[in-house]
Each structure stands twice: as structure tokens, then as C-alpha cells.
Structure 1
Amino acid sequence: MSAATVRPKAGAGAGTGTGAPPPRTPAERRRVLGLDRGAWFLLAPALLPILVLSAGPLLYAISLAFTDAHTGRTATTRFVGVDNFADLRLDSLFWESFRIGLVWAVCVTALQLLLALGLALLLNQNLRFRWLARTLALVPWAMPEVVVGIMWQLVYHQDAGILNKTLRQLGVLSGTSGNIDWLTHLSWALPAVILVGVWAGMPQTTVVLLAGLQNVPRELAEAAQLDGAGVWRRFASVTWPALKPVAVAITALNFIWNFNSFGLVYVLTQGGPGGQTRLPMLFAYEEAFKYGQFGYAAAMGVVMIAVVAVLLTLFLRKRLKEDAA
């Protein structure tokens, strides 16, 4: 049989010998394009609100960052290029707020994960009134940020707050003069709002981790227990590997939510005392709505988006490499 009549092997390219699939016929291409159009038609109701309410404002904010948009009855908006970013590079107050924002986001996210993991493991046990405990664990999540902020202002109140009262009863504080004004103290304000952030955001992390624990094979844990593995060994070898993808996903989302926090800290301290709790989102808000510099505030938002995107990319890439290894 001549070489010209040899039929190519299955999966081999037509006359190429590279193993590439044969090109699609015009009828196949039309059929695929028709399916794609049908898929886009079905996705449109979900994509349209995202484009209108998320992508549109984001693109507008990015374009605003390259202008000198500001308030004023006779104000005119001009294109200024990267001038806002050049000014922002030298703005020490913004970068100080950015540092505070990173401290806030990292501390709150890490504590949320650790405490929520412990609570999820506890709620996953076969305990009496477990349904009631799971319901109560969701209470902080169901409360608006403004209500949470006002409630914790009462907890932290210098004279009538339950925290100072409890510390006095325990002998940690002595007399009225020893009361701590937690939300206006330069050293205690940031830890105080971090505690509130952990309390308010922990339920959602608990729910996600508890859902992940439902998918951990009980047979593996029982087999490890029969082999003599202790509680910590079973958690490290069986529970955590199965739970790790869920934990990584919720940690990344929590970091984004926490770094962009505004309402809770604004109600508690409005960025005080002395800017000790002024998160970058609060700084941008003041720049836009207090001083009327919308273009400059938009540039802050663009920088925050870029930095958070880079940090999350590095974090997720490292986790993916660890999982692949």
C-alpha cells in the first residue's frame, strides 16, 4: 500500500501528523456558534445586572481617576492624566491609612478563620441543642453594620459600658478613674474595632466552613481513629486537606470584604482617634464627600483595587502551587 493511501490514525491531524484534531466543517462551526448564542441568551439576565451595577460604575470610577473632577457650581472637569496618581504617591496620610487598612484586614481575616474554624468543628459535633447553637451563631451576620456599631459603642462606653464594668469586677480596673475609653484611646482603638470586625464577620466564615465539614468523608476519620490517630492527627491528615480549598476561598473573599470595610468602622470611630482607625476606604470617602475631590478619591480607589488584586493573586498562586505539590 502506498504512503498516499495510508489512513491517518485516530486523533491525528489530517496530513499534519501532529496529533491536532481535524478542522471543523462549516456546518459544525455554525452549530457551535448557534449553541454559543443560546448560552449567551440564557446568561444575559444574570450578566446584565453585573454589567450595569458593577462593571459600569467600576469603569466610570477608573476614568474619573484621570480627571480633576471636584465639586462646585461652576466646576469643570478636565483630563489630567496621571497627575492624581503622582500626587497620591507623595500623600503620606493615604499610605498611612493604607497600612492601617492592611493591619485591619489581615488581623480580622486571620482571627475570623481561626475562631470560625473552631466554632465550625464544635457545631459539627453531635451535641444536644446543636440546631439552636447553629441558629444563634448566625445572629451577628443578620444584624446591620450600623446596629452592630451602635451596640458595640455601648459595650465600649467608658462609664456605663459592660466591658469596663466587667474588668472592674475582676479587679483589672480600679475605680472610675481607671476606666478606659476604648474607642478614643490611641493604643486601644484599633484593637477594639478589630474585635468588633471579627465578631461581625465570623458567622459567614463559620457557615462556609461548616458546609465544607459536611463533605469530609467520615469513613477516613473513623479509619484514622481505628489506626490510633489522635484528634490533632485526624484533623491534620483528614479534615484539613478536605477543608483547605473551602478555607482558601473564604479567606480570599474575607480579605476583600474586610479591606473594603466602611460602615462598621465609620459608625464606631469615624476614623479616629487621630486617624488611628482611618481605613483607606474612609480616607477616600472623606476626600470625595467632605472635601469634594472626586477625581483624587477615584485614584485612591484604583490604587486599592490594584494592590488588593496583586496580593490576592500572589496568595492564591502560592496556595495552588502547594496543592499541586
Structure 2
Amino acid sequence: MTAVATGRHRRGMSRQTRELWVLLLPALVPVLVFSVGPLLYGIGLAFTDAQGGRNRVTGFSGLDNFARLFTDSMFWQSMQVGLIWAVSVTVLQFLAGLGLALLLNERLALRGVARVLALVPWAMPPVVIGLMWRLVYHPDAGIVNSTLGTDINWLADFSWALPAVVLMGVWSGMPQTTVVLLAGLQNVPKELYEAGAIDGAGTWNRFRDITLPQLRPVIVAITSLNFVWNFNQFSLVYVLTQGGPGGRTRLPMLFAYEEAFQYGFFGYAASLGVTIMIVVLGLLGVYLWRQLREAS
């Protein structure tokens, strides 16, 4: 290639690069303004003593907020509740979503209608879902007590509040898991099932040896996303219980919200947010590392 041709090639590549950046800029600017910018601001705020109120001077506090955080029993309680909530809801969402996806993948009567109905919880706003489940768990007029013949105050009982909230979380988040797994099932080659049937593999063996291995990338992706979404959940639980009774359903994000907007400790709340982010990324990294190691 001559020097002239090389120069033209480089100019063409640089022009393509500029055009690419021009096309990407409208999408990158909102991300930088509404995601990266607030994230960096929140990280910086975590190292200050920022508080609510007029004429308050914000100063650099170093690691004081993090030192306070690690001696705060309410923080550790919220982390424990958050992990129980996130793991329970993620696992149950996957199991329920997989079962429903397998059912909707079969040639059943009114399968199209069933698929549409399965998406109903996904289309409902979180506030509406929370209010609806408050009625479901109502101690006097709720459908749960009416069906079971009990008089339990599910959302005020120290033993039943968290399981009741977990059930709501599973119901509200199951549709997206079902849709993703159903799409994965439809991409599994039919020839694999036919070959398995010819080899004499039963239904369970085909599911274990064909369906699950073929769905592994989809399972890793959706469970990872679900775990992040569930651990950072706020609106559903806030509407349903506001973190009660006695902090039994106070998720980490609820605790950070209270510290910031009820008590005005913005710096401390920011340190909570940074810590929660690190914990989520750490747990997610370990999970993905183990999944990739098993797949290799």
C-alpha cells in the first residue's frame, strides 16, 4: 500500500470515527448527566459531613462516615434483611419464571392470551402493586386471611412481615424473568430434543442435559440483573411496609433514604450508598466468576 493510499485510509478512518462520535453523542450526554455525574457527586458527598438545613457549611470529613457506618447496628440489620430479601426473591423469581416459561413454551390452548396475562404485573407501577398487596394482606378484609381463615396482621407481624414482602417481590418481578427465559427456550435447537428422544432420554434427562445447559447464559444474565434490582429495591417495600415492623423489612436503600430525607444526614447516607454499591458489585463479581469458571 502506497503512502498516499495509507494517508487516505487514515483520513477515512478518522472521518468515520468522528461520525461515530457524532451519532453516539446524543445517547452519551444523558448517561453522563443523569448517571455518571450523580454517581461521582454521591461518592464525593460520602467523604463530607453534609447535612440538611439552611446555612450549614459542608466540610471534608474523610472516612468518618464509613467508621460510623461500620459501628451502626441498624445498618448491619438492614444489610442482613437486604441479603435475605435479594437472594430469596431472586431465587424464587427464577424458579417460578422458569416453570411458567416452560409451560408457556408448550402448545397449549389460548397460549397467546396466557402470555399476555403473564406480563400484567410488569405493566403495573410499583406504587399500584404495593397498594394492591396492602389490600391483599389486610388483616380484616384481605383475601389471604379470608382464604386461610386466619386473622394474622401479615405486615405488622415480626415473623410474617418479611416473607409477605418477599412473596410480593416474587410476583411483581416474575414477568421479566419469564419473558427472558421463554425467549431462551425458543432459541434452543429442536434437533437436540429429537436426538435426545432417539437416544432414549426421558423428560427430566432432556431438561437437565439439554435445556439447562442451553439456557445457562440466559440464566446467568437474568439472575445477575434480578439480584442487582432486588437488592436496590425501594418503592415496593416502602409503599407496603415503610421498613416496618421494627426494621424487619428495612432494606439498605430504605435505611439510606431515612438517613438522608428524614434525618438530613446527606453525607452519611451517601456513604451508605457507596458501601451498598461496593457490596453489590462484590457479590455479583463472585457469582459471575463462579459461573464463568463452571462454564469453561
Range into which the TM-score falls when normalised by the shorter chain: over 0.9
> Which residue number in structure 2 is paired with residue 186 of structure 1?
158
Tell me if 1:220 matches 2:192.
yes
Q: Distance in 2 between matches of 1:221 and 1:46?
A: 42
Q: Deviations over 1:165-206 (max 9, x none)?
A: 1111xxxx4xxxxx1000000000000000000000000100
Which letter does structure 2 place at the counterpart of 1:192?
A
Which letter does structure 2 place at the counterpart of 1:268?
L
> Which residue number in structure 1 is paired with residue 103 of structure 2?
122
Q: Distance in 2 between matches of 1:274 and 1:153?
A: 18
Q: How many residues align?
A: 292
Tell me if 1:85 matches 2:57.
no
Q: Distance in 2 between matches of 1:37 and 1:239?
A: 45
Question: Quick one: which of 274, 289, 292 aligns to 2:246?
Answer: 274
Q: Using the TM superposition, give the Cα deviation of residue 213 of structure 1 relative to its aligned residue in structure 2, in angstroms.
A: 0.9
Residues 144-163 of structure 1 mapped to structure 2, 5 A cutoff: 144-163=125-144
Larger Rg: 1
> Which residue number in structure 2 is paired with residue 69 of structure 1?
50
Q: Using the TM superposition, give the Cα deviation of residue 35 of structure 1 relative to its aligned residue in structure 2, in angstroms.
A: 3.1
Tell me if 1:229 matches 2:201.
yes
What SS does the corresponding residue of 2:54 show, helix, strand or coil? coil
Q: Distance in 2 between matches of 1:235 and 1:83?
A: 53
Q: Distance in 2 between matches of 1:99 and 1:40?
A: 44
Q: Deviations over 1:253-272 (max 9, x none)?
A: 00010000001001111000
Q: Distance in 2 between matches of 1:242 and 1:40?
A: 37
Tell me if 1:166 matches 2:138.
no
Give the TM-score taking structure 1 as reference length: 0.87
Tell me if 1:206 matches 2:178.
yes
Gaps of 5+ in 1: 1-24, 174-178
Which letter does structure 1 place at the counterpart of 2:195?
A
Tell me if 1:321 matches 2:280.
no
Q: Deviations over 1:9-68 (max 9, x none)?
A: xxxxxxxxxxxxxxxx66655544443333222211221111111111111111111111
Gaps of 5+ in 2: 1-5
Q: Distance in 1 between matches of 2:133 and 2:161?
A: 12
Q: Distance in 2 between matches of 1:148 and 1:204?
A: 15
Give the TM-score taking structure 2 as reference length: 0.95
Tell me if 1:45 matches 2:26.
yes
Q: Distance in 2 between matches of 1:317 and 1:35?
A: 36
Considering only aligned residues, what root-mean-square deviation do their CA atoms show, in Å?
1.4
RCO higher in structure (CA 8 A, sep ≥6): 2
Identity %: 65
Q: Distance in 2 between matches of 1:160 and 1:276?
A: 23
Q: Using the TM superposition, give the Cα deviation of residue 274 of structure 1 relative to its aligned residue in structure 2, in angstroms.
A: 0.4
Question: Quick one: which of 265, 276, 296 aligns to 2:237?
Answer: 265
Q: Deviations over 1:142-186 (max 9, x none)?
A: 111111111111111111111111111xxxx4xxxxx10000000
Question: Quick one: which of 118, 124, 141 aligns to 1:137?
Answer: 118
Tell me if 1:300 matches 2:272.
yes
Q: Using the TM superposition, give the Cα deviation of residue 237 of structure 1 relative to its aligned residue in structure 2, in angstroms.
A: 1.3
Which letter does structure 1 place at the counterpart of 2:273?
G
> Which residue number in structure 2 is paired with residue 197 of structure 1?
169
Question: Quick one: which of 260, 264, 281 aligns to 1:288?
Answer: 260
Q: Distance in 2 between matches of 1:181 and 1:97?
A: 22
> Which residue number in structure 1 is paired with residue 3 of structure 2?
none
Tell me if 1:97 matches 2:69.
no
**Greater share of residues in helix:** 2
